[in-house]
Structure 1
Amino acid sequence: MPFRTRAAVTGAVLATVTVLLCPAAAAARPGAAPAAPRAAAERSAPDWTAAPAPGGGARPSGRDRPYFYLEGGPGAVMNDRISLGNPTDRAVTVHLRGADVGSGTGGGDAAGRGSGSGAWVAFAAKEVRIPPRTRAGVPFTVTVPRDAVPGDHPGALVATRTGPGGGERRVRMHLRVSGPTLSAVTVENVSVGRRGSAAVIRYTLVNRGNTVLAPRLAVRADGVFGPVLRRAARALPVELLPGRRVQRTETWPDPPGLDAVDVRLDVSAAGAATSSGSAPYTAVPWGLFVAGALVLTAGGGGGWLWLRRRTATPAVRSQDEGGAEVAEDERELASTGSGARA
């Protein structure tokens, strides 16, 4: 066999053996998944989840309820389930607890975060181990005390992952205790202050009832020369829980430069009477005021000096018989005989 042909055959054989035996080369063969994209796919896989369990044992879907809603009278016991999903290839251990429900304050923010103990909530298991690629449904009960106040008692179920990675999931719970309800909101502590060329309206919203409120706010301001601000009622991005106080501000970008204004806020909510609060606002161009004060001060001082010079009486001088100049008052003394001259 010619040398060139033998060398080509030998090289082809060696290349084939290398491809078959080398793992890295085998991974590069057509049809084999590259290692880097596979690792990226594993990293992008969804983490563990917590959500209300679908009814009837159905699989979760995008049409599932986004939060729990339970309603019962004092003394009622209500049951439901929370669904914990683990799509990863490692087991996950999750600790469960209730927040705010049964704390007696109705506290917490719109996401259900708060410091309440969730005393009304009891889980079938407080700690759950979820195997890889598995979904677990954990039953829980909500027991309403017999002396519970009617109205809304919002809260959350909190799932906390223990061990490496950590993480927390919160599922909101809307709990209503049946009975007489009261919707009431007030606006308090209204004040208006200057901030650069704009004005800032500060106020406090207070939920005085026992239902969750979605407040609406209207703003108006009237000056000496008529209306200077009109803002129609609009929904505020606030979920006002029972007993909660929220401090808010409104920016007024173009207040009048010279006026005495009365600012009024009207707050309303579904089922609640409108509450109003007001505060005065005096707009004074301080630069012009100071300049005017300086001009008035300078003018007043000059006028006083001029008036003093006009009202001062100069000494009248005259001459005596010998030609000497004497003051008028001396002449008056001489004429009365009460004085003598040498």
Structure 2
Amino acid sequence: MTSSARGALCAAALVAAVVAGAVPAYADGGGSAKWSVAPFAGGGTRPAKDGRPSFYAEGTPGAVLQDTLAVTNPGPKPRTISLRGADAGNTGSGAYSVTPAKGTPKDTGAWITFAKRQVKVPPRTRAEVPFTLTVPTGALPGDHPGAIVASGGGRTVGVRVDLRVGGPTLSALTVERVKVDTDAGSIAYDLVNRGNTVLTPKLAVRADGVFGTLIDRPARTLPVELLPGRRVSLTEPWPDAPALDAVDVELTATASGGARDTATASARFVPWGAVAGGGVLLLAAAGGALHLVRRRRRRTEEERAREPEPGAGSGAGSGDEPEQKRGATQLARAGTGDEL
């Protein structure tokens, strides 16, 4: 989008141009071809000859940004299309969504003003509708996703509007409410975007039982576009969960910009048929064994941390580092990515 005075919007005319090419087959069951909306290819700060998939805008608080929406009617009859701005959000499962028609936009959707909110498009014609996006002076920095929603002829379609308000940005997320469903064989958890940028999170999963590792899944990108301030509830499948074990589960979520968080949960797997036949005692024994395994792991890690540096001698004349210097060396090494 390009900066311009608001008065320019009032003077902008609605431009109609004949759509070249053959008329597509009737497709919506109503006796007319489907209409469509898209960013005008020649508008904005990033015009594209082959078209833009969405609107992208950057501006500081108080900026007035302008762009153009193209509404195309390839059918043989005129179409009247209504336009509105909408805020974007996530459904509970992470899908991208916009505010309903009866909802009142409070963010990007409320900042969009059209040259005409209702457009009558002649047959086989494209209408170009100018609009402005006015960033309030008190707008918070970061990403403000929204959409332009068009309705007409029994159809409703939308085009994304990705607005970034200038200022400090923060990428942060948390993993919460981790719970193992031993009956369904799955791991439920929540992801929360605690920053002000849109995140595409990755998730790594690890589960350790009494006798070893049960799950070790490397980080993979989730089919989620997590918007600022949003929470989504997701499920990680575990089809080969053990029948009898005491398990520790660890979920690690990461995203661009340095966002990272880890959360854990514990679970006890026991077959119902084994409960009456001494399964409870067996499970208790498994839990005790897991406790011993954890203690042994921690002890091993502590012993490794106390080991002297390779090549260290036994006296001052053999090249020993003073204690203070050796401690500084270990701290510097830990700061290169190792967990403390």
Specify the TM-score bucket, using the shorter chain as the normaliser: 0.5 to 0.7
Distance 2:279 2:252 in 1: 39
Aligned residue for 1:157?
Answer: 148
Q: Say if 2:201 is the partner of 1:215.
A: yes
Residues in 2 aligned to 1:194 and 1:97: alpha-carbon distance in whole angstroms: 46
For 2:208 and 2:104, locate their aligned partners in 1 and report how far apart those are by CA, in whole Å: 44
1:49 aligns with 2:40: no
- Shift of the 172–112 alpha-carbon distance from structure 1 to 2, 3 Å rule, reads farther
CA drift of 1:199 comes to 1.3
* Of 119, 137, 149, the match for 1:146: 137
- Write the distance in 2 (CA, Å) between the matches of 1:70 and 1:112: 19
Q: Cα distance 1:286–1:111, how it changes in 2: closer, same or farther (>3 A)? A: closer
Preserved CA contact (<8 Å) 1:68 1:172:
yes
Alpha carbons of 1:43 and 1:213: their partners in 2 closer, same or farther (altered >3 Å)?
Answer: closer
Q: 1:231 maps to which residue? A: 217
- Structure-2 change in CA distance of 1:158 and 1:56 (3 Å): closer
Residues 1:135 and 1:219: Cα distance change in structure 2 (over 3 Å):
same
Write the distance in 1 (CA, Å) between the matches of 2:279 and 2:98.
Answer: 55
Residue in 2 aligned with 1:176? 164
Partner SS for 2:250:
strand
Match of 2:190 in 1: 204
Long gaps (5+) in structure 2: 1-23, 281-340
User: Would you identify which runs of 4 or more consecutive aligned residues in structure 1 move more than 3 Å?
Assistant: 40-46, 108-112
Query: CA, structure 1 residues 70+166, in 2 after alignment: closer, same or farther (shift >3 Å)?
Result: same
Conserved 8 A contact 2:142-2:166? yes
Q: Secondary structure of the equivalent of 1:119?
A: helix
Code of the aligned partner of 2:72: G
Q: Pick one of 167, 172, 183 that aligns with 2:155.
A: 167
In the alignment, the residues of structure 2 paired with residue 241 and residue 179 of structure 1 have an alpha-carbon distance, to the nearest angstrom, of 17
Task: Check if 1:119 corresponds to 2:110.
Answer: yes
Q: Deviations over 1:258-291 (max 9, x none)?
A: 2111001000000133101111011112312312
What TM-score does the superposition give when structure 2 sets the normalisation length? Answer: 0.67
Q: CA deviation at 1:56?
A: 6.3
Give CA-to-partner distance per residue, 1:277-320, whole Å, 9 cap, x none: 111011112312312389xxxxxxxxxxxxxxxxxxxxxxxxxx
In structure 2, C-alpha distance between the alignment counterparts of 1:75 and 1:61, rounded to whole Å: 27
What does residue 92 of structure 1 align with?
A: 79
Larger of the two Rg values belongs to structure: 1
Change (3 A) 1:62 1:220: farther
Q: Return the offset for 1:92.
A: 0.3
Instruction: Describe the shift of the 1:154–1:41 C-alpha distance in structure 2 as closer, same or farther (beyond 3 A).
Output: closer
* Structure 1, unpaired ranges of 5+: 1-39, 101-105, 295-342
Instruction: Report the equivalent of 1:107.
Output: 89
User: What is the root-mean-square deviation of aligned Cα atoms in Å?
Assistant: 2.4
Structure 1 pair 176/234, CA: closer, same or farther in 2 (3 Å)? Answer: same
Picking from 238, 243, 262, the partner of 1:276 is 262
Find the aligned partners of 2:131 and 2:253 in 1 and give their Cα distance.
Answer: 38
Deviation at 1:41, TM superposition (A): 4.6
Query: What is the TM-score normalised by the length of structure 1?
Result: 0.67
| Residue equivalent to 1:79 | 66
Q: How many residues get paired?
A: 243
Residue 50 (structure 1) shift: 0.4
Deviation at 1:76, TM superposition (A): 0.5
Tell whether the 8 Å contact from 1:99 to 1:112 is kept in structure 2 after alignment. no
**Structure having greater relative contact order (Cα 8 Å, sep ≥ 6):** 2
Q: Is the 8 A contact 2:182 2:267 kept in 1?
A: no
